Copies of this chain bind each other. A is one copy, B any other.
């Protein structure tokens, strides 16, 4: 702290002096209270409270090697799905007395590696990354520094990093199967930028597994309501009208809903529409959006807990698969005989 204030911060020695004990004892009541007599402990604690003593995080870090914060690298804050994830992450890390430093990567692997390095340089004890595809630099960095690092939003037990996430491929398939079951055969798929985004790539891969049974067309659009709305135009202007539109994220689907509405296309009368994510708002759109629920909140909690344990007790977590499940609402209906 740039001690602008006159009197400098109270330190261990001040407390020790005031309590009539040694610095070691004060340090003990802070770090291993059981190693101190109850009597001295309470006395010291009183002095600590009275003097409003707060141990210097820096001094502590330099000795114990603990900084008590971890870093999270996410593509963007500007998407409710990550914001929700981070909210849960932060809350749960807090329960473990860990702070969270957020860095956004804009889905740029080089930027991601740089920011990760920055986080490590300032002492991050662990890292949360999105997905399993990262630059060689970042992988080397994590390897070399042996930083506890968890990959999220993706489940892949063959990944070198522990993954905590869902099966993106399966989630997409869940959606497409639902549309298939409803009789839709011609499906337009709208997805965010696939480059540098393995979650999206994996969802696309899932859909391709189904390509014999359905006729798929593809549109890439920037994530966001705008992107979804603009995609509507593309979907309807090229080729024959699809039976259904599958957006690989809910914001895209909401944007699509507006886009279609603007063009006079009714959902689900004219075509079915689905998303993936299940944002809170997806239940109140008109019609309410069928989607695949992705448990990002739980993902945040589990990632936080796993990372905290790894950092604190050096216990590397196992991969954790979270369940993604279909949510059928009003935006998807059985295909009418003469569409």
Q: Chain A interface (Cβ within 8 Å of chain B)?
A: 1-5, 54, 56-59, 61-62, 65-69, 76-80, 83-84, 86-87, 90-91, 99-104, 118-123, 125, 144-146, 224-226, 228-230, 251, 254-255, 258-259, 261-262, 280-281, 283-286, 311, 314
Contact = CB atoms under 8 A, between A and B. Distances in A.
| Residue among A54, A58, A65, A80 having the largest count of chain B Cβ atoms under 10 Å | A58
Contacts of A262: 284, 286
Contacts of A120: 54
B69 A78 contact: no
A226 B281 contact: yes
A104 B77 contact: no
Contact of A123 (B57, B254, B281): B57
A221 B97 CA distance: 33
Given A66-B2, A118-B99, A86 B77 contact: yes
B99 A225 contact: no
Contact of A90 (B54, B103, B122, B125): B103
Contact of A225 (B69, B104, B284): B284
Contacts of A84: 77-78
Given A58-B123, A225-B284, A77 B69 contact: no
Contacts of A146: 4-5
Contact of A226 (B66, B83, B284): B284
A322 B125 CA distance: 38
Contacts of A91: 104
B62 A58 contact: yes
Nearest to A65: B2
Which one of A68, A83, A91, A314 has the highest number of Cβ atoms from chain B below 10 Å of its Cβ? Answer: A83
